[in-house]
Amino acid sequence: MKLVMAEVFNSWQGEGGSVEGSAFGRRQIFVRFAGCDLHCQWCDSKQYIDASRVSRWRYEVEPFTGKFEYRPNPASVDEVVDAVLRLDTGDIHSISYTGGEPTLQVKALKVLMERMKELGFDNFLETHGGLPELIEEVAHLVDYASVDIKDETAKATEDWKNLVLREVKSIRILKEAGAKTYAKLVVTKGTKLENVRWYGELLKDLVPLVIQPREPIDVSQEKLMEFYREASLIMGRKNVGLSFQVHKYLNVL
C-alpha cells in the first residue's frame, strides 16, 4: 500500500481550544498527507496541495531538533509506521492525520489507522470534511476529529454552501461512529455574522464549535466576541470556544 506523503513530525497540537474532542496542548505525532481538492485563500500548506508535485517527503529525526531525513514519494505504509515509531516519546496523546486532505487517500489512510490502533495509539483526524462518502470508510477507526466549516471567505470552492452541508454530514458520520468530534471555523474580517448564525443552527445539538481567526489575524476582538456570542446564543453557552494557532507562537511545527 502506497501513499503520497508530506511529512511526519512530533509536536504539540496548537488548535482546538478547550471544547470537547479537542487535543489542544497535547503531544501528537503529525502525519501530513500531500494533496487537497480545495483551494482555501489562507491555506498554510499550499506547497502540498498538488500531490503530483510533491516528489519527496520528510520525517523528523528527533523531536524539536529541526533535523529531517527525506525519502521519495510514494511512501509505503511500513515506512510511515517506522517514522512514527521513531518519534514516539512515550507521552503521545494520539496520531494526527492532517494535510492536505487525508481522506483523498482513504484506502492507505484506513490501513495506516488500523496499524496505529494495533500499536496502541488513538487516531485524530483533521479533515475539511467535504467528502462524507470517504469519511464513512474510516469513521469507525477515528477516536478524535476536527472537521472544518469552510467560511465563504475561504473561497475554497464555488458552491461553498453545499460544501458546508457536506462537512456537517461528515460530522454526523463521525459522531455516530463514536468519535469525539468538534467543528472548526476559521474567520476573517470579511466573515458575515449571518453565516456564523447559519453554521450555529447546523451544528446545534451536534458538536461544539471553535472559532479561529485566520493567521495573520485581521479580525478585531470586537468582531470575534460578536461571532462568539451569536454562535453561543444558538448552540448553548458551553458549546463554543476560541482557537488560535498557538504552535506558531511557540515557533514549532
Work out the burial of residue 58: count CB atoms within 10 Å of its CB; fewer than 13 is exposed, 13-18 middle, 19 or more buried: middle
Higher pLDDT, 249 or 133: 133
pLDDT in tens, 10-44: 999 999 999 999 999 999 999 999 999 999 998 98
Q: Which three cell numbers stand for residue 185?
A: 471555523
Indicate the pTM of the whole model: 0.96
pLDDT > 70? residue 94:
yes
The three cell numbers of residue 69 are: 531525513
Strands (E), the chain: 2-3, 5-12, 27-33, 56-60, 68-72, 75-76, 94-98, 123-127, 144-149, 180-187, 209-213, 240-242
CATH 1.10.3720.10 for the 2-184 domain, yes or no: no
129-166: pLDDT as tens digits: 999 999 999 999 999 999 999 999 999 999 999 999 99
Report the distance separating Cα 171 and Cα 50, nearest Å: 26
Bridge partners, 147 (sequence order): 127, 183
